[in-house]
Structure 1
């Protein structure tokens, strides 16, 4: 066991004995997400490095503090990638640095994002609807629980789960259950070909087309519908074999875009840095997760739509929050206050939909089991978690 890990274990055990709180933090790229938490800083950045990488097995094991950009660069050298396109954001992110007036572009601001934060936040990028989410690629984790015990779950193959899948339970837990120290991930080869098509069409037509195309054998990878300067526009990204992508382009029509130019735009979309996201005028940014088949929703303004209809971003004033939650519930989905407006201070219960009683009970039991004294990230997800 190396000295960095020993220091963190000692810090957790001391906090557990004293009943004090710890605030887990890597690069700080997702500080804006969820409610702010207090406590002594537990820095995961010293836990850095790629422990093992087997390109032929499509598996990589990485320590939690490893920069996400570093991992992606190593994978790219071998023609591989994280297909769920995790967002990078910037260092020490806040609504101000990620909102109005932000000039950060592309991946230059993404060096702060870490692998541990990627798993803990559980956020996926534009390709999520076609390629799956973060949790679908987590094979195993090593975790430090609230007692200072180092536990390992899962492994380095897909068929290793017996009983409760604890490894994937850590995805999206926001560090409330423990400190991820190492994670094993499934990776995939880069697609041989890519193309982005542009269509001018209404929101209703775009949703209809996306559902129609989704039922066909097309190499769909990502989509983005947005009111682009008053022109309703759908961008559709295809990835796959060269012949499949070329055939799809011919069949679908639209205006084929330059790949080099759209690569930057898709990265900006991944990190919520497109002009549509930045021009919020102090409003909150909401993330509505709904079925892909959900029709046009009654929202304060036309949303930006990703995931073939399944993810709808909405800019809204604080007083419009109840209506957004109601609209998402009617559609069979959920609403999350993803990024508060620069002039707004929110309580934690404003961020996520309240858990229903059975699920709330499970969450509390898990918290008690992994972190019995409530050491980690108090209040990050819910007020009394």
Structure 2
């Protein structure tokens, strides 16, 4: 164990003995997400730095408190990147915060989610013990894949000391196309394109305009661009657009003080939400965003009607349940996992669901 790990283990044991809740925090850029943070703040940024990077093996191991921007710069120097395109939501974003939130950006539909790139994790559990799961190669899993389990856990299972991630080479070529389409037509077109060998890496529909990003080999991107048509954006405009989508600084994601930004996961073939207000569609139709007045219960009901689920992503009352309510069997699994990793219930209590 490193000196930091020993110090943190002692603090965790003391907190567990005293039943003192701990609010695990890196840069705090995702404090808005999930239920309201509670407990004594435990700053995790001191545990920082890249432990190992094997460019030829497409693997990087990094300490949890490492700034996400620092990791991305290290990868970019070798022509690589995090293919799930994680949002930062602020300059202080850390690697552990990225994994704990489990959020993926515009490439998620084509490249996979955070959990799909998790290879291993070193975790400090609620007993003050350091646990290691997974490893640094792709085929390393036997038994429960705990390294993937922590993705999206919002720090409720333990402190991520180190994370091993799969990385990929940056695409050789990219192009962004613009189409003026109504929502129904945009959804239909994207589902048609999704069944074809097209190098689509991101999509965004909002206010009658569909943007489609193509990524891959020069020949593949060029052929797809010619085949699909549309208006091609210049590279600077395209880069600014997808950064604004990833970081939610684009207009459709703006949320007033009395509003809630809802994140709705649906089958890509589902029809429009038809709820009015500002809306956006990503991931080929599988992710819908809608801004609604706080207290508007129609969003979750409409999501269920269309075979999906909804999360109150940003804004509104964070003391209630913001994620989709769990079924009894799933709630039981969550409860047992929490008991196994954090028996005293000190890590980010209530951040995911009220009882966890």
Deviation at residue 81 of structure 1 after TM alignment? 0.4
Is contact 1:34-1:348 (8 Å) kept? no
Is contact 2:25-2:43 (8 Å) kept? yes
CA distance in 1, matches of 2:295, 2:157: 32
Counterpart mapping for 1:281-300 below 5 A: 282-300=258-276
CA distance in 2, matches of 1:360, 1:279: 30
Deviation at residue 279 of structure 1 after TM alignment? 5.9
CA distance in 1, matches of 2:29, 2:292: 23
Match 2:300 to one of 325, 334, 349: 325
Deviation at residue 300 of structure 1 after TM alignment? 3.0
Deviation at residue 2 of structure 1 after TM alignment? 2.5
> Which structure 2 segments of 5+ residues have no match?
none
SS of equivalent to 1:238: strand
Match 1:359 to one of 330, 337, 342: 330
Match 1:309 to one of 273, 277, 285: 285
CA distance in 1, matches of 2:38, 2:64: 21
CA distance in 1, matches of 2:187, 2:129: 48
CA distance in 1, matches of 2:66, 2:248: 22
Match 1:339 to one of 311, 314, 324: 314
Count of residue pairs the alignment pairs up: 356
Counterpart mapping for 1:1-12 below 5 A: 1-12=1-12
Q: Are 2:160 and 1:180 equivalent residues in the alignment?
A: yes
Task: Report the counterpart of residue 13 of structure 1 in structure 2.
Answer: 13
SS of equivalent to 1:221: strand
Q: Deviations over 1:136-185 (max 9, x none)?
A: 00000000110000000000111111111111000000000111110000
Deviation at residue 260 of structure 1 after TM alignment? 1.3
Q: Are 2:349 and 1:382 equivalent residues in the alignment?
A: no
Counterpart mapping for 1:223-234 below 5 A: 223-227=203-207, 232-234=208-210
Deviation at residue 375 of structure 1 after TM alignment? 0.9
CA distance in 1, matches of 2:268, 2:186: 11
Aligned alpha-carbon RMSD (Å): 1.1
Q: Are 2:140 and 1:160 equivalent residues in the alignment?
A: yes
SS of equivalent to 1:119: helix
Task: Report the counterpart of residue 272 of structure 1 in structure 2.
Answer: 248
SS of equivalent to 1:143: strand
CA distance in 2, matches of 1:204, 1:271: 26
CA distance in 1, matches of 2:140, 2:118: 12
Task: Report the counterpart of residue 213 of structure 2 in structure 1.
Answer: 237
Is contact 2:28-2:93 (8 Å) kept? yes
SS of equivalent to 2:98: helix
CA distance in 1, matches of 2:273, 2:36: 31
Normalising to structure 2: TM-score of the pair?
Answer: 0.98
Q: Are 2:204 and 1:204 equivalent residues in the alignment?
A: no
Q: Deviations over 1:272-295 (max 9, x none)?
A: 110222264741100001111111
Q: Deviations over 1:229-286 (max 9, x none)?
A: xxx1000000000000000000000000011121111111001110222264741100
Deviation at residue 3 of structure 1 after TM alignment? 2.1
Q: Deviations over 1:327-357 (max 9, x none)?
A: 11111111000001xxx433231x1111000
Pair 40,319 (structure 1): closer, same or farther in 2 beyond 3 Å: closer
| Runs of 4 or more above 4 Å deviation | none
Match 1:253 to one of 229, 232, 253: 229
Task: Report the counterpart of residue 214 of structure 1 in structure 2.
Answer: 194
Deviation at residue 216 of structure 1 after TM alignment? 0.6
Match 1:116 to one of 68, 81, 96: 96
Pair 13,281 (structure 1): closer, same or farther in 2 beyond 3 Å: closer
Is contact 2:126-2:342 (8 Å) kept? yes
CA distance in 1, matches of 2:55, 2:143: 28
SS of equivalent to 1:195: strand
Normalising to structure 1: TM-score of the pair?
Answer: 0.91
Is contact 2:258-2:294 (8 Å) kept? no
Pair 29,302 (structure 1): closer, same or farther in 2 beyond 3 Å: closer
